[in-house]
Amino acid sequence: MKLAYYPGCSGEGTSKEYDVSTRAICEALGFTLTDIDDWSCCGSTPGHSLDHALSGALSARNLALASTMEADCVVTPCPSCLSNLKHAKHRMEDPAFKAKVDELLDEPTPALPEPYSVLQVIVEKLSMEEIAAKVKKPLKGLKVACYYGCLMVRPPKVMQFDDYENPMSLDNLLVALGAEVVPFPLKTECCGASLGVVDKEVTSKLSGRILERAKQFGANCVVSACPLCQMNLDLRQSQAEEAMGQKFELPIFYYTQLLGLALGLDDSALMMNKLVVSPHALLKSLDAPAEAVAPEAKAEPKAEDKSDEGAAS
């Protein structure tokens, strides 16, 4: 399957490991990624916070570029980019809004393709059995809290992916990789998003609660699919610890890193050493002899009936 790839700006900086591991797992799973040539920033939170038409124009430029590629589907790893791209596409179904966007662009926008997350394509194009069959190194011993954050599932009308209160796609994926998934009620709570830049208090508290709960439920790591969530939970973990008056020391992986690890990919494709809270002790313990191994992996009860909702075309 050929995918037009929108990496997003953070993939060139703070989430380099997400970009690199995404490319590696896609290759390993048989998806061909081609970067959208000369892609530009979607405007991120500042764009849509200031003006929907401005955000729409910044996103539309990229979708228009993607529409000229012969790809089966447009994808991005970043939920924040995806939210902007999807909102632009959906809002532009209204001719009045499209006119406002077109006024800002050199040329009127053509019909735009629907963008998807890399995660959605993986979990909808491949069955969990197919993925499990490719696992070379089961993630036994990892107790994972799956943290989805806001943007991947909300607002549901626009994102059209998984259950917006209790998503299961990452849970099911991690179970297929042999990890134990702990029940985690804060799956879709907000981490404080980009407000951390100007208001440390809000982000430290909200992220701190997520980490505290993950620990209380027995997780030894958290998995994320969002560069902003990952940064708040990992790079800013020390601020969260300060706000909550306790130590967490929880490694925060991108799901692509754990998927790559289970598929037996090389560390150069996973870039584990980019994580601020070091995962090395935990990963080393996975290689330890059998008696240290955790009980059989199991997901939350609702696993079965959530796995096949929604569909990427």
Partner 1 sequence: MEVIQLDKARNTNFLKEVEAESGQKLSTCYQCGNCTAGCPGGEFYDRQVSQIMRAAQLGLKEEALGNRSLWLCLACSTCSARCPNEIDVAGVMETLRSMARREGYVNDRPIESFWKAFLDMVSMNGRTFEAGVMADYMLRTGRGWSNLAMAPAALAKGKMPFFPHRIKGRKEVARIFKRYAEKRS
Q: Which residues would be at the binding site for partner 1 (CB under 8 A)?
A: 9-10, 12-16, 38-41, 43-54, 57-58, 61, 94, 103-106, 150-151, 154-156, 164-165, 188-190, 192-202, 206, 235-236, 239, 273-276
Residue 307 Cβ vs partner 1, minimum distance, rounded to whole Å: 21
CB 270 within 8 A of CB 285: no
Q: Which is nearer to partner 1, 11 or 178 (CB)?
A: 11
Residue 164 Cβ vs partner 1, minimum distance, rounded to whole Å: 5
Q: Which is nearer to partner 1, 120 or 178 (CB)?
A: 120
For residue 24, give every residue at least 6 positions away whose Cβ sits within 8 Å of its Cβ, in sequence order, or none: 256, 260, 265, 269, 270
Residue 310 backbone zone (phi > 0: left; psi -120 to 50: alpha; other: beta):
left
Q: Which is nearer to partner 1, 121 or 206 (CB)?
A: 206
Q: Which is nearer to partner 1, 180 or 224 (CB)?
A: 224
Q: Which is nearer to partner 1, 34 or 40 (CB)?
A: 40
CB 119 within 8 A of CB 156: no
Alpha carbon distance 159, 177 (integer Å):
26
Residue 223 Cβ vs partner 1, minimum distance, rounded to whole Å: 19
Q: Which is nearer to partner 1, 179 or 271 (CB)?
A: 271
Q: Which is nearer to partner 1, 8 or 178 (CB)?
A: 8
Residue 264 Cβ vs partner 1, minimum distance, rounded to whole Å: 25
Residue 40 Cβ vs partner 1, minimum distance, rounded to whole Å: 4
Residue 261 Cβ vs partner 1, minimum distance, rounded to whole Å: 19
Residue 247 Cβ vs partner 1, minimum distance, rounded to whole Å: 16
